[in-house]
Amino acid sequence: MNVFYYTTPVGKIAIAEKNNAITNIFFETDTIPSDFHVKETALLKETAGQIYLYLYKKLKSFSIPLNPQGTEFYKKVWNALFTIPYGETVTYKTIAQACGNPNAARAVGNACNKNPIPIIIPCHRVLSTSNKLTGYRGGLKLKQKLIALETTKIEVV
> Which residues are known catalytic residues?
123
End-to-end CA distance of the chain: 38
Give strand pairing partners of 3.
16, 38
Residues with Cβ within 8 Å of 127's Cβ and at least 6 positions away in sequence, in order, are 89, 90, 91, 92, 133, 134, 154
Question: CA torsion 107→109→111→115, rounded to 10°?
Answer: 180
Question: CA torsion 141→145→146→147, rounded to 10°?
Answer: 100
